[in-house]
Structure 1
Amino acid sequence: MHRLNGVGLAAFDRHTSTTQSFAALSSTLTQNQVSHLQNQLSSFRSALSTFAANHREDILSDPSFRHRFTQMCSSIGVDPLAGPRKGGFWAELLPGLGDWQYELGVQIVDVCVSTRERNGGMIELSELVRLVRKLRGAGQITEDDIIRSVKTLQPLGAGYQIITLTDGRKMVRSVQKELDEDQTVILALSRAPGRYGRLTEEDLVREKGWTRERARGALENMLIRDGLCWVDEQDELYDRVYWVTSAMKWD
């Protein structure tokens, strides 16, 4: 019995020794991998630094070049427009780009807030681009720039978000409200050629196959609850015509 115990203890000691050896080997391999990764990141950082220094002005001033640059960064899983907390590395490589992005964000907020009274906090992306360009006075921006900047505004908790309508058009929401499916359909239909935001219950019944009750309820919700449209009760043909303010053309 004693002999068997001795064999068992010896086997246990060998097992423990083997386990410790594997642990040491694993630790060595991990350290080597980390060291190799650090060397790769150092080379990567150096290459990006050189590229950013050589093309900084192009990134800031040329929308097409900026778009290709951000696409390249996205393909390797980094965000060149991240804020200081997430992108101090980028702030170092691209001095001025962060300030440019924050300035654009402030201008987007300015336009959204100043137009909220007439559009209820829903503005078409192309209209937002036009008004921001007018506000900036110099330098070109694209829809891609606006989309990226709106994403940086989301942590503010003010409701800033890109909304894609059923017809594929994009809108920017600057209020904390969710659109239901009926409202999304109405917003898309109000932008049909020649409508300029004008809709009636009959339009929804005829073109979408809705019941009159559904059409009236959706339009009244947008009018009273959400403030996304106006109503005209003096139309020559219909008792009640709704004007979706975010689809109307403004100078």
Structure 2
Amino acid sequence: MATRRRIGVAAIQKRQETANKFAAKGDQLAGEQLAQFSQQLDQLSAGLEMFAQRHRDEIKKNSQFRRYFQEMCASVGVDPLASSKGFWAKALGFGDFYYELGIQIVEICLSTTHINGGIMTVEEIRNRLMRTRSRTRKDTISTDDILRAVDKLKVLGNGFELVPLGGGRFLVQSVPGELSMDHSRVLQLAEDAAYVTKELIMDKLR
């Protein structure tokens, strides 16, 4: 009986040792894969830096090319706008570009608050920006540029928010407060119909 018990204990210990070896091997493989993945990310990041240096002027002047570059960066977890002192700010002037764009957006929103109550479509902001910048600049501003700049304005605190309208369209809210879903639907209705009445709201949104 004692012999059987010793054999049983030995078998359990052997299985435990085998399991421990498999676990250790698994940890080793996971560590190797993580190191390989980290190395690949470093290579991709270095490749992006070379790409940025080679196409610096095109990225700064061409809005579509700029968006393509931003998407490439996002795919490997690089945020060119995260630091105004990093490589990307020095190589591309991204910090200065979006800082200047953000200031212009703030000026446009504040100067029209008495007209629109602090709510504007991104398209209207873009049109005003292009009219202002065309006098001195040849570069184009895309909707994506405006969305990124407004997103960075959130650091100013409560006051600048993007309000989705659906279909990839947004409002920029530049006054404190939160728009409900009903508010957004009424604004969408007013923009689509070019006017809004109590009867129209009751008919369309009931």
Q: 2:198: which partner in 1? A: 204
Q: 2:28: which partner in 1? A: 28
Q: Could you tell me whether the CA contact under 8 Å between 1:61 and 1:140 is conserved in 2?
A: yes
Query: Structure 2 vs 1, CA of residues 78 and 41 (structure 1 numbering), >3 Å: closer, same or farther?
Result: closer
Q: Could you tell me whether the CA contact under 8 Å between 2:41 and 2:76 is conserved in 1?
A: no
Name the stretch that deviates more: 174-183 or 14-23.
174-183
- Partners of 1:62 and 1:70 lie apart in 2 by 12
- Partners of 2:23 and 2:64 lie apart in 1 by 51
- Partners of 1:70 and 1:172 lie apart in 2 by 21
Question: How many residues in Structure 1 have an aligned counterpart in Structure 2?
Answer: 202
Name the stretch that deviates more: 130-139 or 172-181.
130-139
Q: 1:83: which partner in 2? A: 82
Deviation at 1:50, TM superposition (A): 1.5
Q: Could you tell me whether the CA contact under 8 Å between 2:119 and 2:174 is conserved in 1?
A: yes
Identity of aligned residues (%): 33
What aligned pairs does 1:22-101 form with structure 2 within 5 A after superposition? 22-74=22-74, 76=75, 78=77, 80-84=79-83, 90-91=88-89, 94-101=91-98
Aligned AA (2:130): R
Query: Structure 2 vs 1, CA of residues 2 and 89 (structure 1 numbering), >3 Å: closer, same or farther?
Result: farther
Q: 1:191: which partner in 2? A: 191
Deviation at 1:90, TM superposition (A): 4.6
Query: Structure 2 vs 1, CA of residues 147 and 79 (structure 1 numbering), >3 Å: closer, same or farther?
Result: farther
Q: CA RMSD in A?
A: 3.2
Query: Structure 2 vs 1, CA of residues 158 and 21 (structure 1 numbering), >3 Å: closer, same or farther?
Result: same
Q: Point out the structure with the larger helix share.
A: 2
Deviation at 1:26, TM superposition (A): 1.6
Q: Could you tell me whether the CA contact under 8 Å between 1:166 and 1:184 is conserved in 2?
A: no
Structure 2, unaligned runs of 5 or more? none
Larger Rg, first or second structure (1 or 2): 1
Query: Structure 2 vs 1, CA of residues 130 and 37 (structure 1 numbering), >3 Å: closer, same or farther?
Result: same
Deviation at 1:55, TM superposition (A): 0.5
Deviation at 1:44, TM superposition (A): 1.2
Query: Structure 2 vs 1, CA of residues 63 and 25 (structure 1 numbering), >3 Å: closer, same or farther?
Result: same
SS in 2 for 1:191: helix
- Partners of 2:167 and 2:68 lie apart in 1 by 27
Deviation at 1:111, TM superposition (A): 2.1
